[in-house]
Amino acid sequence: MARPKTHATPADRLAAYRSRHARIDVALSKDLGETLESISLKLSVSKNELIESMIRFALTNHDWARQGGVWGRK
CB-CB contact of 7 with 13 (8 Å)? yes
Rounded Cα distance, 59 and 61, in Å: 6
* 71 in any annotated domain: no
* 14 in any annotated domain: no
- Spans in the chain with pLDDT lower than 70: 70-74
Q: Over the stretch 3-24, which tens digit does the pLDDT of each residue have?
A: 888 888 989 999 998 899 888 8
* 13 in any annotated domain: no
Q: What angle do CA 60, 49, 38 make, to 5 degrees?
A: 105
Q: What pTM was computed for the model?
A: 0.68
Residue 44 DSSP class: T
Structural domain boundaries, residue 57: 27-64
Q: Number of folded domains in the chain?
A: 1
* 47 in any annotated domain: yes
